[in-house]
A and B are shown apart, each in its own frame.
Chain A
Amino acid sequence: MRADAPTGDHRQVSATLSVSPPRVRRCYRRPDKGLLGGVATGLAEHIGISTKLVRVLFLVFCTAGGLGVALYGAYWIVLPPAPEATKSRFPAWLEFTLAAIAGCCAIAAAAASLPFGGLVLPTTLALIGAALIWRQASEPERDRLRALSRSSLGVGGKDRLGRARIAAGAALIVGGAVIVLARADVTAIRDGLLAGVVTLFGIVLLTGPWWIRLMTQLGDERSERIRSQERADIAAHLHDSVLQTLALIQRNASSPREVARLARGQERELRTLLYGDRTASGQVADALRDAAGEVEDAYAVTVDVVLVGLGDTALTERLNAAVAAAREAMVNAAKHSGVTSVSLYGELEATTVVVFVRDRGKGFDPDEVAGDRHGVRASIIDRVERHGGTVRLTTAAGSGTEIQIRMPVS
């Protein structure tokens, strides 16, 4: 579509309607295919080995002090479900129960091998609380997540269910901690401290990945929204202007002059949309461009605008006069020259603005213009000279006309 300029991609992005983000290969879990949470299937798909092998590996790890269970649980939490796997094979409650049981088993195994096995009940309670909060986060319910993200720990303002779940989870965690403390000997503060640390650690563990997941989802969502907004903007513009113009062109198909005028106006508009005003921009330049556009529209001619320089000087009364004179010159060229193409060249410097309006039409003899015709005299020459500028008129019958307007900026 375009040359490989180093800065070249920008426009392509805004010009082509569909832009796909760079594809990154990600590891997902496949709750739609797997036996349990789809972790083994997802891993197998990602690495490219057989699902059975992964499962066997997990079972082998289970014999090593329950490591397999812990790993599986961790993956279940960390891996996002594959986007195409919208539905789990299991109903939500079953999945939840399975996850809870798996977690409980892991905790029971850990508790049995540790000296303070009495902590199993409180820890399990805490875990169930954690699981509640986890379920909350892993459901890709965008609206709810967005609502959640506004408050600190996800207490969505209007989301009663989510709030209740979080409250329940938190209560269970606190309950677990309280029971630990109540059971503990007054002398064994060590246990209490340990429980506190464990609880704290649990919370950190809980909220960390939760936030990570939340952020990724929000980021994805935002870029998607921006993209669709851009698409909608362009579509709206195309509809408003291009389709309208095409309809008008079809209706005026019998009048070439009208078709050319419509096409030219549309071209100008699209150019501004696509390329912006790449050459000189600023008030004076814009005013000159607008004037050229108006003349094009009104008289069905083509005005080739070439502007050089800054053009960003404020549009003073003086420069206004120069622009108005240039406009008048263009109108004259459009009306009287007999050609359909006019050149407008402007040099917009900091101290002086020089504008040339030229046509290759039939030209005229300034002395022969009837005295009561004010065009050139009043609206161009006098107007410019009144504001301290100069006008030079070059014309002769048959050789076109050029009007040079020179206006000091201050």
Chain B
Amino acid sequence: MSEQRCVRVVLVDDHGMFRAGVRSELGERVNVVGEAGDPAEAVRVIRETTPDVVLLDVHMPDGGGQSVLETIGSSLPDTRFLALSVSDAAEDVIAVIRAGARGYVTKTISADDLADAIKRVAEGDVVFSPRLAGFVLDAFRDAPITPSVDEDLDQLTPREREVLRLLARGYAYKEIAAELYISIKTVETHASNVLRKLQLSSRHQLTRWAADRRML
């Protein structure tokens, strides 16, 4: 814990107004080292500045946040991505998470919550908005129908489910820890396990589920 070292952030969003708004809202709490308005520029700025956290808009022309994630890949292991979107569409959210984002928050998030989420992602934690937690619960709702390659990845443990339900109900990590009589560290571990499952699960339902949502 390097004391008071400001988290270095790059903002990626195709709306300049929105970037300006986020920048002024976050104010002194983070150090915005760069901005980008499209995926190509984003990749360049991120490579140049190697920030701690990239606030990544899901919807942009030319491929959106997902293409940035795919281009950067694992070449910058110390840079973490937090997806930010106005969309409620499950398949978009699941897609950026599976492409490597460490969390997802909606653009309506308050400045305090956003600053907190950035800090948490910078420290290696995972950020689940209530909505994302709901998506994950929904996606993993049924037991896999076909025997899967990796049982472990395709199922949530009861405890993880419990944590997700509390997240969906709007609980903060601290509150979850108190509710379940576990430490915050354990809550974080559960959350990152869920994220790993979300990213790696071969569960065919996951993709199908997200695609189905679009049809409704």
Measured CB to CB, the residues of A under 8 A from B are 1-8, 10-11, 271, 275-281, 302, 304, 306-309, 343, 345, 347, 356, 358, 360, 402
In the complex, chain B residues whose CB is within 8 Å of the CB of A306: 130-131, 133-134, 168-169
Given contacts A1-B59, A2-B92, A279-B213, contact A308 B138 (CB under 8 A): yes
Complex CA distance for A345 and B134, rounded to whole angstroms:
8
Name B216's contact: one of A11, A271, A281 (CB within 8 Å). A281
- CB-CB contacts below 8 Å: B48-73 with A: 58-61, 63-67
Name A275's contact: one of B61, B87, B95, B211 (CB within 8 Å). B87
Name A358's contact: one of B65, B141, B169, B216 (CB within 8 Å). B169
**Per-residue 0/1 for B85-110: is the Cβ within 8 Å of any A Cβ (1 yes, 0 no)?**
00111111001100100000000100
- The reply to whether the CB of B124 lies closer than 8 angstroms to some CB of chain A is no
A3–B92 CB distance below 8 A: yes
New contact pairs (13) apart from A4-B64, A278-B213, A308-B141, CB-CB < 8 Å: A2-B59, A2-B92, A3-B64, A4-B66, A7-B91, A7-B211, A276-B216, A278-B90, A304-B131, A306-B130, A307-B134, A309-B141, A358-B169
Given contacts A279-B135, A281-B216, A343-B130, contact A4 B169 (CB under 8 A): no
Complex CA distance for A306 and B137, rounded to whole angstroms:
11
Given contacts A3-B92, A271-B88, contact A278 B216 (CB under 8 A): yes
Closest-CB distance, A342 to chain B (whole angstroms): 9
Complex CA distance for A271 and B108, rounded to whole angstroms:
13
- Max count, chain B CB within 10 A of own CB: residue among A277, A308, A356, A402: A308
Majority SS of interface residues in chain B?
Answer: helix
Q: List 20 A-B contacts (CB under 8 A).
A: A1-B60, A2-B92, A3-B67, A6-B211, A7-B211, A275-B89, A278-B90, A278-B213, A279-B90, A279-B138, A281-B216, A304-B130, A306-B130, A306-B133, A308-B134, A308-B137, A309-B138, A345-B130, A345-B169, A347-B137
A280–B138 CB distance below 8 A: yes
Name B65's contact: one of A3, A275, A281, A360 (CB within 8 Å). A3
- The reply to whether the CB of B196 lies closer than 8 angstroms to some CB of chain A is no
Complex CA distance for A343 and B129, rounded to whole angstroms:
12
Closest-CB distance, A234 to chain B (whole angstroms): 18
B170–A343 CB distance below 8 A: yes
In the complex, chain B residues whose CB is within 8 Å of the CB of A304: 130-131, 170
- The reply to whether the CB of B165 lies closer than 8 angstroms to some CB of chain A is yes
Complex CA distance for A11 and B90, rounded to whole angstroms:
13
Complex CA distance for A358 and B91, rounded to whole angstroms:
27
Closest-CB distance, B7 to chain A (whole angstroms): 25
Complex CA distance for A345 and B130, rounded to whole angstroms:
9
A2–B64 CB distance below 8 A: yes
Complex CA distance for A137 and B61, rounded to whole angstroms:
44
B169–A275 CB distance below 8 A: no
Complex CA distance for A277 and B213, rounded to whole angstroms:
8
Complex CA distance for A256 and B164, rounded to whole angstroms:
34
Q: Which residue of A lies closest to B106 (CB)?
A: A304
Closest-CB distance, A347 to chain B (whole angstroms): 7
Complex CA distance for A120 and B211, rounded to whole angstroms:
67
In the complex, chain B residues whose CB is within 8 Å of the CB of A356: 169
Complex CA distance for A306 and B58, rounded to whole angstroms:
20
Closest-CB distance, B111 to chain A (whole angstroms): 13
In the complex, chain B residues whose CB is within 8 Å of the CB of A275: 87-89
Name B169's contact: one of A7, A8, A11, A343 (CB within 8 Å). A343
Name B67's contact: one of A4, A276, A307, A360 (CB within 8 Å). A4
Closest-CB distance, B176 to chain A (whole angstroms): 13
B63–A3 CB distance below 8 A: yes
In the complex, chain A residues whose CB is within 8 Å of the CB of B138: 279-280, 308-309
B168–A345 CB distance below 8 A: yes
- The reply to whether the CB of B214 lies closer than 8 angstroms to some CB of chain A is yes
Name A11's contact: one of B108, B131, B168, B214 (CB within 8 Å). B214
B213–A3 CB distance below 8 A: no
- Max count, chain B CB within 10 A of own CB: residue among A3, A11, A271: A3
Complex CA distance for A2 and B62, rounded to whole angstroms:
8
